[in-house]
Structure 1
Amino acid sequence: MKIDYKTAPAFLKSPSRDIVLLYGPDQGLVSERGRVLGQTVCPDLSDPFRVSDLDAEPLRVTPERLAEEAQALCLMGGRRLVRVRQATDVVRKALDILLELPSVEAFVIIEAGDLGPGSSLRKLAEANGRMAVLPCYRDSEREAGQTLRALLAENDLRAAPDALAYLQQRLGADRGVTRQEVEKLALMKAGDPSPLSLREAQDATGDNAAIGMDDVTYAAFLGDGRRMTQALDRLLGEGEAPVAILRAVLRFLLDLVRQRGQHEAGVPLDKLVAARRPPLHFSVRDRYRAILARHAQARLLVWLGALQAAEINCKSTGLPDLLVCRQALGQIASEAALSPQRRT
């Protein structure tokens, strides 16, 4: 019996089959649903008397063990739970033996990866009326937002709108990762009833080095020398290498040169920004558009040459790389501050 997404919530609360196969690309969701289903039988999944965790690979050698575990009784009372982790088609023989039994004493959950339509394990499970099969696909954007809000509420957290949007964009691909990150946020905010801010969300779940690179890069090309210097000092203080910073700004500039060229050939700015890959985070989209509108391709090419020379100087001269980096980025910030703002 295949369980679809509409009937999944009811099934998870009250499973109607004794043997369940969970599979799909979202391994966090596979694990979470395995936990939820298991707790319908045994609330304490660490109970050694009532819970048996089996790895899939040993079942290749001793496939009869699954049936033996499924028929064992708990001397302390209560129904037993048998969970098979990281299952693949090697479990097929063990499942064949299990299904030959007229009935099963334990509740059996088989947790697998992303089984394709040709998987012998998946085919057997879908064709057998004694089993339930529950696919675990990654959430859509809308579902990911609902999941995130539910997890925040579960952990007594509130998030500011920009923080919520940031978390939804960064998280959501894997249910398990999302849960771990929200639990980390809950620990960070313990005792603080204020809404989670964007900066707190970035600090807790983001790549701090990447965020710092963005701060340096956008400040430089927008002509904000003071902010650029502060962000650069923070990055250097965290141990980031000057040449790595220059290379990150170079990659950004190469993209700007290409897109500005398309704009000067007649492509509207909004279309360029919307079509950029990878997509821009909402928090930098307006700043990126402002930079693209502000600087002609000829000016960007001059800066490209200066940054390439600075990178070479960092590696091949006796000049201090920190000084080279500061001078190159400071020069861009100074010249960018003099560029007239354009409305295009």
Structure 2
Amino acid sequence: MSALKGRDIEKFLARPDLTSGLVLVYGPDTGLVSENAARLVKYFAGDPPDPESLSQLHMSEIDADPQRLGILARSPSLFGGQTTIRIRAATNKLAPTLVELLDEGAQALFVVEGADLKPSDALRKHAEARKDARALPCYADTGQTIDTLIRETFAAANIALEADLAPMLRDMLGNDRQVTRSELQKLVLYAGDGGRLTRDDVMRLCGDNAALAIDAVVDSIATGHARRFDDAMTRAAAAGTDAQRLLIVAMQHFSRLRAMRAEIDAGASVDQIVSRATPRIHFSRKAGFEQQLRLWNDDGLAAACNRLAAAILDSRKSGPLAPAIGRQALLAICMAAARR
């Protein structure tokens, strides 16, 4: 079997043990698929790549001219040496042609980019079964891989980070490698070699304005701050946040608080509940969560959930009135918190 996993993938990317054959790079993280394929092309064809030894095709080009891949693979490089062929957006229709060329012993390395292939898919089956092939799955980044990427990226540019900034940045980044790389490079360009990044820098450059505005709305109503609620609603409107989305997120928040409150009533401490919460609570919101859990009891949280559920139903029945319905319900809960 030639399916690589875990650390074996990084070892292979650093020093591939093939000189010809097939390397299938596939998975749900299209950004990482593209990045790993580019690393292989750089290794085999040079940086910048030698145009005489590298050919790049999209699957649509092969569909339009089925003979094109065979001609490229069977044509020797003009100056000798290995031919590298990179194929993007490959589908299972490519499998028979690849098998034919590999069985012929074509002196070419095929770097093939696929989607999230199942074990039964022909491309993946051949890549995992053949001795002259390797399969490199690319799954979404985990917290650990994002941490490593953040550390390596900023260390390479000698950029210093404000305390606790790395965990905050990890939580803000998605799990698509291409998007993560783009956001990190944006920060590197902003800070410059030898520079320094603060929390405000990251929030300004990488923050999801809509998500941040929703968090501000929810936290303001749960702590009873009417003025902050008004400011947060203005920000949410400016970010184009839908009224029903606000109500649904608020409902989820208060339902979560109620579940946490039940554990506290059973004997757990607020600190324990907040620190072990799943999904993890970002450090910048922990103090707010602790305050809310001390402020609300189960009866109050149940009433807030009922109020939000009714508002969600009413807003769906009366589309044009949804913003007003949502604001009225959220403000009522905010005032209830202020009276506690």
TM-score range, shorter chain: 0.7 to 0.9
Answering whether residue 48 of structure 2 is matched by residue 68 of structure 1, we say no
Counterpart position of 1:183: 185
* 2:28/2:139 contact within 8 Å kept: yes
* 1:21/1:134 contact within 8 Å kept: yes
Counterpart position of 2:135: 133
- The alpha carbon displacement at 1:229 in A equals 3.4
- Structure 1 counterpart of 2:109, one-letter code: F
- Residue-by-residue CA offset, 1:34-82 (whole Å, 9 max, x unaligned): 101111213235x765432223355467654323212334547875431
* 2:157/2:194 contact within 8 Å kept: no
**Aligned pair count?**
335
* 2:89/2:114 contact within 8 Å kept: yes
* Shift in alpha-carbon separation, 1:122–1:306, aligned structure 2, 3 A: closer
Which residues of structure 2 form unaligned runs of 5+? none
Distance between the aligned counterparts of 2:123 and 2:195, measured in 1? 49
Counterpart position of 1:297: 298
* 1:314/1:321 contact within 8 Å kept: no
Distance between the aligned counterparts of 1:90 and 1:256, measured in 2? 51
- The alpha carbon displacement at 1:292 in A equals 1.6
Answering whether residue 93 of structure 2 is matched by residue 97 of structure 1, we say no
Counterpart position of 2:225: 224
Counterpart position of 1:123: 125
- The alpha carbon displacement at 1:214 in A equals 1.2
Question: TM (normalized to structure 2)?
Answer: 0.78
Distance between the aligned counterparts of 1:193 and 1:334, measured in 2? 48
Counterpart position of 2:33: 30
Distance between the aligned counterparts of 2:9 and 2:233, measured in 1? 50
Query: In structure 1, the residue corresponding to 2:210 is in which secondary structure?
Result: helix
- The alpha carbon displacement at 1:330 in A equals 5.3
- The alpha carbon displacement at 1:230 in A equals 3.1
* 1:57/1:90 contact within 8 Å kept: no
- Structure 1 counterpart of 2:250, one-letter code: V
Distance between the aligned counterparts of 2:54 and 2:267, measured in 1? 66
Query: In structure 2, the residue corresponding to 1:218 is in which secondary structure?
Result: helix
Distance between the aligned counterparts of 2:94 and 2:322, measured in 1? 60
Answering whether residue 13 of structure 2 is matched by residue 12 of structure 1, we say yes
Distance between the aligned counterparts of 1:148 and 1:97, measured in 2? 43
* 1:50/1:79 contact within 8 Å kept: yes
Distance between the aligned counterparts of 2:64 and 2:80, measured in 1? 30
* 1:81/1:108 contact within 8 Å kept: yes
Distance between the aligned counterparts of 1:308 and 1:21, measured in 2? 48
Which residues of structure 1 form unaligned runs of 5+? 340-344
CA RMSD of aligned residues (A): 3.9
Distance between the aligned counterparts of 2:248 and 2:222, measured in 1? 15
Answering whether residue 217 of structure 2 is matched by residue 213 of structure 1, we say no
* Shift in alpha-carbon separation, 1:33–1:245, aligned structure 2, 3 A: closer
Distance between the aligned counterparts of 2:224 and 2:246, measured in 1? 17
- Structure 2 counterpart of 1:119, one-letter code: D
* 1:88/1:112 contact within 8 Å kept: yes
* Shift in alpha-carbon separation, 1:210–1:38, aligned structure 2, 3 A: same
Query: In structure 2, the residue corresponding to 1:16 is in which secondary structure?
Result: coil
* 2:264/2:270 contact within 8 Å kept: yes
Distance between the aligned counterparts of 2:321 and 2:120, measured in 1? 61
- Structure 2 counterpart of 1:127, one-letter code: A
Distance between the aligned counterparts of 1:220 and 1:16, measured in 2? 59
Distance between the aligned counterparts of 2:90 and 2:306, measured in 1? 54
- Residue-by-residue CA offset, 1:294-326 (whole Å, 9 max, x unaligned): 21233334555666777759986x99966x766
Residue identity over aligned pairs, in percent, reads 32
- Structure 2 counterpart of 1:179, one-letter code: R
Question: TM (normalized to structure 1)?
Answer: 0.77
- Structure 2 counterpart of 1:283, one-letter code: S
- The alpha carbon displacement at 1:99 in A equals 1.1
